[in-house]
Every structure is written in structure tokens, then in C-alpha cells.
Amino acid sequence: MMIYIGSDHGGFDLKESVKAHLEQCSIAFEDLGTFSDESCDYAIIAKKVADAVVKSENNLGLLFCGTGVGISIAANKVQGVRAACCSDCFSAKMTREHNNANILCLGGRVVGTGLANELVDLFLDSPFSNEDRHQRRIDQITQIEIR
Ligand code: RB5
């Protein structure tokens, strides 16, 4: 399992802060950019992280932009991605347990650093429930994706 992370300029500071948190927790990750707060386009970074995440079922991703919304919309265009933009703890946990989300998207202009760390911890620590009804619903999403 590998954790891939990325941001545009709007999420850059929050990405750097979450990286420090992951390092402190000895959680391995690969940062696919951006590497400065210079303006850049979130769809490019979303595709990089999304392409890396879908290479293995066990991979997870963390994406950051100003709101978390644009970068989640872009990531969700890649087949196999289930990216969830969250700003509360319940959703960050449930999107793993019920939706088997493989990318968490956070807004650097929406959530503070402490909450972001909590959201990331919940997302990374919560397994998919594996219950039939949730798998059935995810399969229905996949059917829409591949039709
Ligand atoms: C960049 O200013 C901003 O639009 C972007 O980070 C993101 O919030 C888009 O959804």
C-alpha cells in the first residue's frame, strides 16, 4: 500500500502541514507535487495522484486545493477513483467504511491544520466495511463509470 499526495497552490500549505504529520506518525507517502505555492492547475495534479492510486487496490491518495472540490471533481474522472471531499470527521470515516473511497480531498482554505490531521487519520485508519449492500452500491457506481 502506498499513499500518494498532491495539491495545487491553494492546497499547498495544508499539504505541507499534513506531510509533517504523516512523517511524525512514520507513515510513508509519495508527494507528486506541486512543490511551491506558485499558481498551478489542480486537474494536472489530480490526474497524477489518481493514476498512481488506481495502480493498486490498496493505494490511497490525499489531494488538496483551495476548497478540495475542484481537485475531487478532476480525480473522480479517472476510472477506479472514488474521491471524497470532506471537512467533517464523520464523513471522512464513513466514506472509507461505506464508499471505499480511495482519495480524500481537503480544502486548504476550508479546514485548519489540526482538523486536517484528524480527517487524514480517520480516513487512513478506517477500513471498508465489506458489507454486501455497500459493495453492491460501489459496483453500481463502477457500472456507470464503464458503460
Ligand atoms: C485556485 O484558486 C482554486 O480555484 C482551487 O484551488 C480550488 O479551490 C478549485 O476548486
Q: Mean of the pLDDT values across residues 10-38? A: 98
Q: Which residues line ligand 1 (CB under 6 A)?
A: 8, 10, 42, 65-67, 69-70
Q: What integer pLDDT is reported at residue 126 of this predicted model?
A: 98
Work out the percent of the chain whose per-residue pLDDT is above 70: 100
Q: What is the pTM of this model?
A: 0.98
* Residue located nearest, by CA, to atom 9 of ligand 1: 70
> How far, in Å, from the CA of 111 to the mean position of ligand 1?
14
DSSP code per residue over 11-79: GHHHHHHHHHHHHHTT---EE-S--SSS---HHHHHHHHHHHHTTSTT-EEEEEESSSHHHHHHHTTST
Q: How far apart are the first and last CA of the chain?
A: 29
For domain 3-146, give the CATH superfamily: Sugar-phosphate isomerase, RpiB/LacA/LacB (3.40.1400.10)
Q: What pLDDT does 114 receive?
A: 98
